[in-house]
Structure 1
Amino acid sequence: KSKMTSQTAKVVLSLDAETVSLLKDGVNFKKDPENGKCYIIYKGTEGFKACRNQCKHQGGLFIKDIEDLGGRTVKCTKHNWKLNLSTMKYVNPPDSFLQDELEVEILDDGGLRLVELSPLDPWLADPREPLQLKEGEVKVTYLTHACMELQLGQRRFMFDPWLKGPAFARGWWLLHESPADALDRLCAADLIYISHMHSDHLSYPTLKVLSERRPDAPIYVGDTSRPVFWYLEQSKVQLTNINVVPFGVWQNVDEHLRFMIMMDGVHPEMDTCIIVEYKGHMILNTVDCTRPNGGRLPQNVDLMMSDFAGGASGFPMTFYGGKYSDSWKATFIKNERKKLLNYKAQLVKSLQPKIYCPFAGYFVEAHPSDRWYSWV
């Protein structure tokens, strides 16, 4: 195992609801009264963006750019470098750095926190040069929903095995039936990664079969504050080889294979994603993360996988009665799907993976047997 220090998420600034309500559109400068450090919060139509008030060139402070009538840019007092806060790109000089963003967490009471991940790019530790691969040495197989099997040389790595039974208390069912040998492949896997506790990823009906046939199968989860296997004792599923690994640290399997689990910027207490590297070639799986690793991800990976469905978006669960018309709900769903697809498209465009594979959206919300049920 690597001796690297675990990646941490640190709150660097907290604002109460009243202070948040007073933030104006565009650029806002805020100072932490405790440590005296300065931050910039940009309020736009899509929400908030934030960063340290520190130029990446030589560490100068930013001030408002009076030449920018749109109210999006700030200017460094040292060398007049300009930063567009709506994109976090430096516009003067062009094609220079990207500013390191802070994660903006909106609290239930209307308050706001700025969170900083450290280190930002943990996968850069101990870099390895890509080696030539033989034909068929790496195989990626889709099984169902979010379950993928990676064959990496002699090793088999399985992601999020939901292979049988329902999820979310009969709310979700698999759209595609698992291959006949899927459970055999799961039980023979060298490594199993489970990203988070949602039951379309942490499937107890599936794990019950695994526990009966191979209870010591090596399972890896991230060190989230809400444990992935929170229900293990009550479920009576006996698994004896669950490994909780720190965030942002390479886990060495052998001389050619390693992996790293990273946290989600929006839900660090629960959601995780993973990078798998084999002979210097990277596979990135962002799973269900809303903002994986705070938006900082490796570029030009060989394969990128991510969800593409809205999942439990709130519809139709929270919309009932006569308050919401059918046309309102239709518009809401359309806009939500459009926003999600736009975000995924922008993410893929910015990261430029060699291959992109959308997955983790293959479910239905009604089992055929449910047609026998009716509302009274």
Structure 2
Amino acid sequence: MQVCYVANACFLITLSTGERLLTDPWFDGPCQQTWWNFPPVPDALKAEIWASKPDLIYISHLHHDHLHPQTLSAFDKATPVIIGKLNTPNLKNAIRAVGFTTITEIPFETRAPIGRGACEAVIFKDFHGNTRGDETQVDYDLDTSLYLYDADGTRLFNAVDNTILPTDAARIAIQYGAPDIAMLPYASASLYPMGMGDYDDAAKTAAMTALRERTRGNFRENVRALGAKRVIPAGGEYVLGGQAAGLSRFLPQPLGAELAAEVGEGVLAKLYPGDVLESATLAVTQDPRASHRDFTNAERAAYALTLADRAASFTQTVLPPDLAFDWVRALKKCAANYAVRRAKMGLELAADIYLDLRKADGSQALLFRFATDNDEAAVAADVAASGRARLVYEMDERLAFNLITALLSWNAMEASALITLRRAPDVYMHDVHRSIVHFTLLS
């Protein structure tokens, strides 16, 4: 087996049968409006991957850094795509919308043949709701992970973004075997603390430092529990561009040197674009075209600033005139749809939730409160005057228009660098963030 790293969660895996499996393709252009791959992917490597004609594509979940239409557009749409058998059709429908016609859904934790049948795969559903391991009330399968059995006996586990904890890693090692190679996440895709509107630079730096320490420790314990021979830190390798570029100095992803200090150089395989890891020797062949190798925090932040002039695609949205588009009526409909979904899930909101919509010049266009316990929708009073727990999502009204019409997805909304989040008390409510995918006109 050969594992070639491309970008973020994208790997080209060549099995002993000669079949090639491409995972979560995103390596060309921005995603989530402002995210860019880092280190940048050389154009020649992009061309090679597009020309590779993979035999299979695995897509773990909906987020655009895993299901990226711009990157996927160049592949043959007859290429078989494998996914987990999720409890909603969202992922399957999104893949079909891109044009792929052959989609195989594998039931969770079921060993199934793939490709020509000599190799097998197991797909895992969400392990936990977030990096603290809290279970979620939201009955909405999102992240998945992949375990591969090559025909020559080599085993590979790709956790992708799935929030794996040491207890999960230990169970996998016992039930499915310690893999030869593992790709493990090492940071959350959340924009915490970068997008926190109430944090000054000192607070963001302190939160970033604490988050890095926690995620490094979780990475170390996962490596120990899983028992893989070589571990590739993967997922979440990006910087912010456009108007959010300056926030990249607060990115929570640990550097390769930090992770090596936790697990040892002999176990860690920090790959850069084009690098190849051989399962037989566990040796890495470096691609000389890769830039920013062994980068520092300052180098990563400096690269992000080179993307500061890139405009998010939502800025091209031209909204209807105010008289033709009734924001309050539209948002009331979204709130009603969201309330129906919450009732089905048995999810009660523990805080007042507001949308603070802004015009292109930054002035306030509308302050909207979700109807949580009565028919109230528009609130004229200042949010700060309320003594109740609250979440405030501040965003450009053009971005909000894209979200409520489902032109963009609310998924991982806290991961959007273009939404400023304020909360009091300062406590993460995972189920609220995850369920807000249903706050649309179409839900």
Partner of residue 337, structure 1: 212
CA distance in 2, matches of 1:249, 1:178: 37
The structure where helix makes up a greater share of residues is 2
CA distance in 2, matches of 1:209, 1:351: 36
Partner of residue 346, structure 1: 221
CA deviation vs aligned residue, 1:170-223 (integer Å, no higher than 9, x gap): 34444321552535534510111111111111111112222xxx1101111111
Partner of residue 4, structure 2: 141
**SS in structure 2 of the partner of residue 163 of structure 1:** coil
Q: 2:9–2:235: 8 Å Cα contact kept in structure 1?
A: yes
CA distance in 1, matches of 2:217, 2:93: 34
CA deviation vs aligned residue, 1:264-291 (integer Å, no higher than 9, x gap): 2224710100001112221011111113
In structure 1, which of residues 186, 198, 204 is the aligned counterpart of residue 69 of structure 2?
204
Alignment RMSD (CA, Å): 2.6
Q: Which runs of 5+ in 2 are unaligned?
A: 130-139, 243-305, 312-359, 363-443
Partner of residue 362, structure 1: 237
Q: 1:310–1:337: 8 Å Cα contact kept in structure 2?
A: no
Matched, 1:276 2:148: yes
Q: 2:172–2:178: 8 Å Cα contact kept in structure 1?
A: no
CA distance in 2, matches of 1:219, 1:232: 9
Q: 2:122–2:147: 8 Å Cα contact kept in structure 1?
A: yes
1:375 Cα deviation from its structure 2 partner:
7.9
Count, aligned residues: 231
Partner of residue 316, structure 1: 194
CA distance in 2, matches of 1:349, 1:294: 12
Q: 1:197–1:229: 8 Å Cα contact kept in structure 2?
A: no
**SS in structure 2 of the partner of residue 370 of structure 1:** coil
1:360 Cα deviation from its structure 2 partner:
1.8
The 5-angstrom pairing of residues 39-188 of structure 1 reads 138-153=1-16, 154-178=18-42, 180-186=44-50, 188=53
CA distance in 1, matches of 2:42, 2:106: 29
The 5-angstrom pairing of residues 255-274 of structure 1 reads 256-267=118-129, 269-274=141-146
TM-score (norm 2): 0.48
Q: 1:300–1:351: 8 Å Cα contact kept in structure 2?
A: yes
TM-score (norm 1): 0.56
The structure where strand makes up a greater share of residues is 1
Distance change (3 Å), C-alpha of 1:179 and 1:149: farther
CA deviation vs aligned residue, 1:80-101 (integer Å, no higher than 9, x gap): xxxxxxxxxxxxxxxxxxxxxx
Distance change (3 Å), C-alpha of 1:183 and 1:250: farther
**SS in structure 2 of the partner of residue 180 of structure 1:** helix
AA in 1 matched with 2:65: D
**SS in structure 1 of the partner of residue 208 of structure 2:** helix
1:313 Cα deviation from its structure 2 partner:
4.0
Distance change (3 Å), C-alpha of 1:183 and 1:245: farther
CA distance in 2, matches of 1:331, 1:375: 31
Residue identity (%): 24
Q: Which runs of 5+ in 1 are unaligned?
A: 1-137
Q: 2:38–2:238: 8 Å Cα contact kept in structure 1?
A: yes
CA distance in 1, matches of 2:154, 2:123: 16
**SS in structure 2 of the partner of residue 192 of structure 1:** strand
Q: 1:143–1:179: 8 Å Cα contact kept in structure 2?
A: no
Distance change (3 Å), C-alpha of 1:146 and 1:232: closer
AA in 1 matched with 2:74: V
Matched, 1:193 2:58: yes
Q: 2:35–2:238: 8 Å Cα contact kept in structure 1?
A: no
Q: Highest CA radius of gyration, 1 or 2? A: 1
CA distance in 2, matches of 1:147, 1:232: 16
CA distance in 1, matches of 2:93, 2:38: 23
Partner of residue 228, structure 1: 91
Distance change (3 Å), C-alpha of 1:362 and 1:324: closer
CA distance in 2, matches of 1:244, 1:228: 10
